Amino acid sequence: MKHTDIKKLFQNPQDYIDQSVVICGWVRTARDSKTISFIELNDGTCLKNIQLILEKENLQLDDMKNAMVVGASLRVEGKFIVSEKNGYEITVTDIKVLGECPQDYPLQKKRHTLEFLRTIPHLRPRARYFEAVFAVRNQLSFAVHKYFNENDYKYVHAPIITGSDCEGAGEMFRVTTQPWTTDFKSEEEYYQNDFFGQKAGLTVSAQLEGEMAAMGLGRIYTFGPTFRAEHSNTTRHAAEFWQIEPEVCFAEIDDIIEIAEDFIKYIIRYVMDVCSEELQFFNQWVEPGLIDKLNNVVNSDFGRITYTEAVEVLKKSGKDFKYPVEWGCDLQTEHEKYLTDEYFKKPVFVVDYPKDIKAFYMKQNDDGKTVAATDLLVPGIREIIGCSEREWDYKKLESAMLQRGMPLEMYKEYLDTRKFGSVPHSGFGLGFDRAMMYLTGVQNIRDTLLFPRTVGSL
């Protein structure tokens, strides 16, 4: 079906003015008057609709009747003309209804609540809001690949099914093909008989595999889905989310922090360049001041504070926190919120966390108490990046694993990287869907994903 994208008409109007064009799309609005009718058509190639002018005496009445229905899909032929009121429009010479749309089409109104749209994820890409979300999501993904490609990272595809729990938080979804029966005498026997002959699950992070790849390829990144069976029913947690995980050899904590900041600024700048219309939309309807915020982010330095200093700041804040702050505690939402939204009012790296609240693989600092790890916290969302220098000393890594009761035999290959030519290296994980929230002002992670998976909802 040879037709022209609506986006092309708006991008290069001079190529089409006063010429006959064919376009296809879905009816967004339809208005009838005595001799003329108007349809706004959208084909998903851009946020803008094109206005169709239908002169009744020139068109078949039957076609008209089925075409003047919100949600119907059309193939339209007509003349593309300049219009004083709308910029451009099409005076229709032929109209064909591709798919009729009955009255129970749920997207009748111009504006629906996000809660309602969440109940129809299969249809919501037809709503303007989600057209804008998925346009940004597409360009943001592209920006990620572009950044790493330009900086000589190799894109590696880490496995999704794995035997190791990288974060050690016990949040892995299990992968199995066999039902449990009482014939199995032990859990061990059950797993031995299972598809992989051992316990398997969906990855919570590609980091461990990424490290092994980097320890030969030098600089790599992964960009894929990760899965966590977290029972946190919040606006920032999904059970299936996308993570970008670069791993860089010969980089220490300060080097990776510099990379993370450069990377975040680059991808924001890219999206600001290519999605200005979508960002205007979010700025107008979703987060007033969004564009100013993003401009500030790309043009100023991120904040930086040690965990120990942050605890002092929180203690001196005079705030009546629900969870009291003491050195060694995990920072709660309210604490992070104070640091980002009130104290710094911009993205901030909190560095050198107590080792007991962080993962086993992080480099132990000389103080014996903290690790060379940082979270990047941003206003409104809080943590979007988890980052660290990795422990590259075999003995120290082994002892951190033993302290946590980890089965060393499961991590033999990982430990091998520290045995055979170990090097300092660092990496981070950016939650892609949270980055989407930050860039668009979308308040709920469920509205950044095509089919969100969260606890209790598939």
**432-440 helix and 276-285 helix, angle to the nearest 10 degrees:** 70
- Kindly state the helix (H) or strand (E) to which residue 248 belongs, with its residue range: strand 240-249
Residue numbers 138-167 binding ligand 4AD by CB under 6 A: 166-167
- The minimum distance between CB 387 and Mg ion, in angstroms, equals 9
Instruction: With CA atoms as reference, report the closest residue to 150 among 243, 252, 223, 219.
Output: 219
Count of helices and strands (H, E) across the chain: 14, 15
- Indicate the SS3 state at residue 288: coil
Residue 297 class from Cβ within 10 Å (0-12 exposed, 13-18 middle, 19+ buried)? buried
- Confirm if 157 and 222 have CB atoms less than 8 A apart: yes
Residue 429 makes contact with ligand 4AD by CB under 6 A: yes
Which of these segments, 21-29, 83-91, 233-241, 347-355, binds ligand 4AD (CB under 6 A)? 233-241
For Mg ion, the nearest residue by Cβ is: 386
Which of these segments, 53-61, 102-110, 239-247, 399-407, binds ligand 4AD (CB under 6 A)? 239-247
Judged by CB under 5 A, the residue of 210, 386, 431, 441 near Mg ion is 386
Which of these segments, 305-313, 337-345, 409-417, 423-431, binds ligand 4AD (CB under 6 A)? 423-431
What is the spatial distance between Cα 418 and Cα 67, in angstroms, rounded to a whole number?
67
Residue 104 class from Cβ within 10 Å (0-12 exposed, 13-18 middle, 19+ buried)? exposed
- The minimum distance between CB 144 and Mg ion, in angstroms, equals 19
Residue 228 makes contact with ligand 4AD by CB under 6 A: yes
Between residues 162 and 205, which has the closer beta carbon with respect to ligand 4AD? 205
- Kindly state the helix (H) or strand (E) to which residue 96 belongs, with its residue range: strand 87-99
Between residues 37 and 207, which has the closer beta carbon with respect to ligand 4AD? 207
What is the spatial distance between Cα 144 and Cα 432, in angstroms, rounded to a whole number?
10
Binding residues with ligand 4AD: total (CB under 6 A): 24
- Confirm if 325 and 312 have CB atoms less than 8 A apart: no
Token pair for 422:
């170990």
- The minimum distance between CB 200 and ligand 4AD, in angstroms, equals 19
Between residues 9 and 143, which has the closer beta carbon with respect to ligand 4AD? 143
DSSP string covering 330-396, please?
A: PPPHHHHHIIIIIIISS-EEEEEEEGGGS-TTBPBPTTSSEEEEEEEEETTTEEEEEEEEBP--HHH
DSSP structural state of residue 408: G
Residue 425 makes contact with ligand 4AD by CB under 6 A: no
Judged by CB under 6 A, the residue of 207, 417, 440, 448 near ligand 4AD is 207
- The minimum distance between CB 206 and Mg ion, in angstroms, equals 15
- The minimum distance between CB 206 and ligand 4AD, in angstroms, equals 7
Residue 335 makes contact with ligand 4AD by CB under 6 A: no
Residue 241 makes contact with ligand 4AD by CB under 6 A: yes
- Is residue 235 left, alpha or beta, with left meaning phi > 0 and alpha meaning psi from -120 to 50? alpha
Gyration radius from the chain CA atoms: 27
Residue 238 makes contact with ligand 4AD by CB under 6 A: yes
Residue 428 makes contact with ligand 4AD by CB under 6 A: yes
- Choose from Mg ion, ligand 4AD, none: what does 360 bind? Cβ within 5-8 Å by kind: none
What is the spatial distance between Cα 129 and Cα 162, in angstroms, rounded to a whole number?
36
Binding residues with Mg ion: total (CB under 5 A): 1
Output the CA torsion sign for 268, 289, 385, 167: negative
Between residues 209 and 336, which has the closer beta carbon with respect to Mg ion? 336
- Choose from Mg ion, ligand 4AD, none: what does 335 bind? Cβ within 5-8 Å by kind: none
Which of these segments, 110-118, 132-140, 322-330, 430-438, binds ligand 4AD (CB under 6 A)? 430-438
Token pair for 70:
């919100």
- Confirm if 24 and 43 have CB atoms less than 8 A apart: yes
Residue 230 makes contact with ligand 4AD by CB under 6 A: yes
Q: For residue 53, list its beta bridge partners.
A: 38, 91
Site map 357..396 versus ligand 4AD, x via CB under 6 A: --------------------------xxxxxx--------
Site map 16..55 versus ligand 4AD, x via CB under 6 A: ----------------------------------------
- The minimum distance between CB 286 and ligand 4AD, in angstroms, equals 19
Binding site for Mg ion (CB under 5 A): 386
Binding site for ligand 4AD (CB under 6 A): 166-167, 205, 207, 228, 230, 237-238, 241, 243, 245, 383-388, 427-429, 431, 433-434, 445
